[in-house]
């Protein structure tokens, strides 16, 4: 019965994903450029001065949610959210909105790299890029807020042949969110809908392999249509593409 449920979930998810294949780009464009770690106002200028003239259709930006500050500021701190506030070293919410407006105006769509599988690793009492404070050892994230009950139990991923291990345990020791919780789903959906309201065209979903397809289907289904104020046709749905690392030796 469990195998049947997994199969049905996979079929539903695959069908739903097909409906998300429209990139929402202008008709004569088809390429997304990844401006990794760029500042929002620099991206806006790049859209206006270069990308639109070279036929680029979109920009993928680094994660926008407030992240924990790590010593020496490595790139991967951006993949450890401490809240869903839009404030990183790329800029704040006002600058993000400036970027989406200016890029959409010249036909360059914005796609956000979203981290919804987990929060931070164990960094003790830590501060984020927007000055939010979290007790990461005890899974207390008051700026969301999340608490210990919003996370899966402590375990490390060590068996990539086991779907439960891959999807319910901690990727690289990062506090693993419980996406089957209605409360957690609501917080994630609110975050994605805020980005839609701010003019994005879609999402690159980080660590998609580490979440249950049935949970992602529910979350994606609750994301609103794209904001027509930014030139999207009525009824347009966010374009969703997912990170799945496959080295050929995993069963997932």
Considering 37, 94, 225, 243, which one is annotated as catalytic? Answer: 243
Q: Give CA separation, 108 vs 31, 56, 64, 221, 232, in Å.
A: 10, 7, 18, 25, 12
Our answer to whether residue 206 is catalytic in this structure is yes
- Structure tokens belonging to residue 70: 């790590």
Our answer to whether residue 243 is catalytic in this structure is yes
Count of C-beta atoms within a 10 Å radius of residue 136: 21
> How far apart are alpha carbons 176 and 151 in whole angstroms?
5
Considering 66, 170, 206, 215, which one is annotated as catalytic? Answer: 206
Give the residue numbers annotated as catalytic, written as ranges: 206, 243
């Amino acid at each position: 019965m469990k195998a049947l449920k997994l199969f049905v979930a996979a079929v539903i998810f695959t069908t739903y994903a097909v409906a998300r294949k429209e990139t929402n780009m202008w008709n004569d464009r088809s390429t997304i450029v990844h401006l990794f770690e760029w500042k929002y106002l620099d991206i806006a200028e790049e859209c206006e001065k270069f990308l639109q003239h070279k036929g680029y259709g979109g920009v993928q930006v680094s994660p926008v949610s407030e992240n924990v500050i790590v010593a020496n500021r490595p790139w991967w701190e951006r993949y450890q959210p401490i809240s869903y506030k839009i404030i990183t070293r790329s800029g704040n919410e006002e600058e993000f909105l400036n970027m989406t407006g200016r890029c959409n105006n010249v036909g360059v769509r914005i796609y956000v790299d979203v981290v919804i599988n987990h929060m931070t690793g164990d960094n003790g009492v830590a501060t984020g890029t927007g000055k939010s404070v979290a007790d990461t050892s005890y899974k207390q994230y008051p700026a969301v807020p999340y608490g210990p009950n919003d996370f899966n139990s402590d375990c490390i991923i060590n068996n990539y042949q086991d779907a439960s291990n891959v999807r319910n345990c901690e990727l690289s020791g990062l506090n693993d969110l419980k996406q089957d919780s209605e409360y957690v789903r609501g917080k994630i959906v609110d975050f994605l809908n805020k980005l839609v309201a701010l003019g994005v065209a879609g999402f690159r979903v980080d660590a998609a392999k580490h979440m249950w397809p049935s949970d992602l289907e529910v979350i994606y289904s609750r994301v609103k249509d794209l904001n027509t104020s930014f030139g999207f046709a009525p009824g347009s749905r966010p374009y969703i593409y997912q990170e799945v690392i496959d080295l050929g030796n995993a069963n997932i």
